[in-house]
Structure 1
Amino acid sequence: MAITKKTLKVRPECRVTFSYQPNDGAAHRVELRGDFNGWGEDCLPLKRQRDGSYRVTLNLPKDGEYAFRYLVDDDRWDNDEAADGYVPNPFGTGDNGLLRT
């Protein structure tokens, strides 16, 4: 898993690319959920790449902080080891990744 960030010069935004790599190599449905999309109100599916990884890119306001996770096959939550940190989720079921832009 990986996260890349690029600050835009013409707008106060950061272009962030989230990449998810499943361990089993099988096809999955992977969604990015977090503070930036109401935890699923605005679905952000990741697109499968030729190498078997999944990817999505979005622009977020600069100097923000967002909790996020990947939802895999509608039943498993995964964190990204490239997150800037982790915060406990409000359900007491583990941590959410933290992204700083």
Structure 2
Amino acid sequence: MSIRKQFLKRKSVCKVTFKVPEEFGNTATLAHVVGDFNDWSTSATPMKRLKDGGFSVTVDLDIGRSYQFRYLLGQDTWENDPDADDHVSTPFGDSQNSVINL
């Protein structure tokens, strides 16, 4: 997994690119990034399949905040991003969410 942050000089947003590598992507036909920035919608932010078999999506997020997120691979496989800035327990207590700090 990887995260790339591109801070824009003239706007108070950051272009964040989320990427799922091919070793995870090859096991799924679709992928979504799901987080508090899209109200935890499992369909709002689909990721594009890359030629190498991975997935990627870029979203604009407000600077000065932290966001929790996870990747949904296929219909039911949840993955965290080891490259995230932090990880926190979910409200359900049985897993963790990835965190990105902007």
Do they superpose with TM above 0.5? yes
Unaligned runs of 5+ in 1: none
Give me the whole-angstrom Cα distance separating, in 1, the residues matched to 2:14 and 2:22: 26
Deviation at 1:73, TM superposition (A): 1.0
Query: Once superposed, what is the RMSD of the aligned Cα atoms?
Result: 1.5
Give me the whole-angstrom Cα distance separating, in 2, the residues matched to 1:77 and 1:27: 11
Secondary structure of 1:23's counterpart equals helix
Unaligned runs of 5+ in 2: none
Deviation at 1:57, TM superposition (A): 0.1
> In the alignment, which residue of structure 1 is the partner of 2:40?
39
Identical pairs, percent:
39
Secondary structure of 2:23's counterpart equals coil
Give me the whole-angstrom Cα distance separating, in 1, the residues matched to 2:97 and 2:90: 6
> Across the two proteins, how many residue pairs are aligned to each other?
101
Superposed counterparts of 1:56-95, under 5 Å: 56-95=57-96
Deviation at 1:91, TM superposition (A): 1.3
Structure 1 stretches of 4+ moved >4 Å: none
Normalised by the size of structure 1, how large is the TM-score?
A: 0.92
Secondary structure of 2:37's counterpart equals helix
Give me the whole-angstrom Cα distance separating, in 1, the residues matched to 2:15 and 2:70: 18
**CA 1:60–1:42 in 2, change beyond 3 Å: closer, same or farther?**
farther
